[in-house]
Amino acid sequence: MNLLELQRRMAEDVRRPLTEDYEMRSFADDGRPVADIAASYISPNSRLSSFERLEIYNRQYWFRLITAVSEDYPTLNALLGQKRFDALILAYLDEHPSTSWTLRDLGAKLPAFLAAHPEFAGRRHRLAVDVANLELAYVDAFDGKQLDPLTTEEAQAIGADSRLFLQPHLRLLELAYPVDNLVLAVKKEMPEVDIVSSAATHRDVTNRAKIPPVKRGKLFLAVHRYDDSVYYRRLEKETFLLLEGLRLGASVAAAASQAFAKSKLTPDAQALLLQQSFAHASQLGWLCPLPGTDVALPHLEMKVN
């Protein structure tokens, strides 16, 4: 076995999924005993067999991946409970293994995976999906790209035909539960390091935060970064639809028309909310010029129905 073959052999064995009890599997996919495979390139010592020595690295690898995903979803962990959460993470990583040198995006597909697998959440499935989506939005907002926002002059010149770009770090969420308060409540109770992985033999888990009661209720939320901190901002439905329209490339007039199409607000209230929505978005730096365009268009009065 040359060096390249040894590296490939070791990589395959280390990345082999653990059992439900966080132990190394006894047999490889081709049916060969892993103990025989380990003995072919790892020498035993006075305390550990070849299998046990390989198992240390196998566990190290998976504990690191589990920890990386778990750290992004502390509220989901608390909501599901340790047993269900662990089962979810192991199943997720089995379907979406690490394929990058960075662990930054390892848990990015977890909300979609959970949405497709309600068996991991039971009757709290929709609540759990909302929590997962919000916790992923927090991660994205924390280190998402920051563009230069509109200048004051550019913001004042926004007209009906203007097309704008939203900050890449801004996330817009339509949720069935007010999980912003839930996530904030859990974060206050969580220690800095929630999961400690033993490099050798086991995985220690601290006590989980208690989940406060939460009632179903539609919520429109903006998750954004401001002065290097992440904030949650509740939005009116019309403001949410306006921003979503702009994000999808609609002109200001088209986005406003769609946002207020089914609104129950009076025309005066609609006009006021439209003005406030643009003012707040501008103040928070959410609005950016489209790359390679000039948004300094003549100001146009806009009416909404």
In a domain, 2, yes or no: no
Give the pLDDT band (50/70/90) at residue 102.
confident
In a domain, 238, yes or no: yes
Helix locations, 190-299, DSSP H: 237-247, 252-259, 267-283
In a domain, 136, yes or no: no
H-helix or E-strand spanning residue 288: strand 287-289
Report the alpha-carbon angle 70-71-74, nearest 5. Answer: 75
Q: What's the predicted TM-score (pTM) here?
A: 0.83
In a domain, 242, yes or no: yes
Task: Output the pLDDT for position 115.
Answer: 98
In a domain, 208, yes or no: no
pLDDT digits (tens, 9 = 90+) for 138-167: 999 999 999 999 998 998 888 999 999 999
Q: Which two tokens stand for residue 286?
A: 């959410």
In a domain, 141, yes or no: no
Which segment of 244-248, 264-268, 294-298 scores lowest on mean pLDDT? Answer: 294-298
Q: Which residues in 104-236 belong to E strands, given as ranges?
A: 164-166, 171-175, 195-197, 203-205, 219-226, 229-234
pLDDT digits (tens, 9 = 90+) for 275-292: 999 999 999 999 999 876
Task: Output the pLDDT for position 200.
Answer: 37
- How far apart CA 236 and CA 251 sit, in angstroms, is 20
- How far apart CA 130 and CA 69 sit, in angstroms, is 17
Q: Look up the domain containing 285 and give its range.
A: 146-177+234-305
What letter represents residue 77's amino acid?
N
Q: Which two tokens stand for residue 43?
A: 């020498």
In a domain, 50, yes or no: no
For residue 144, give the nearest of 118, 119, 168, 177 by alpha carbon.
168
Task: Output the pLDDT for position 160.
Answer: 92
Could you give the number of structural domains in the chain? Answer: 1
For residue 302, give the nearest of 254, 232, 231 by alpha carbon.
254
Report the alpha-carbon angle 25-27-28, nearest 5. Answer: 100
In a domain, 273, yes or no: yes
Which segment of 99-103, 108-112, 167-171, 242-246 scores lowest on mean pLDDT? Answer: 99-103
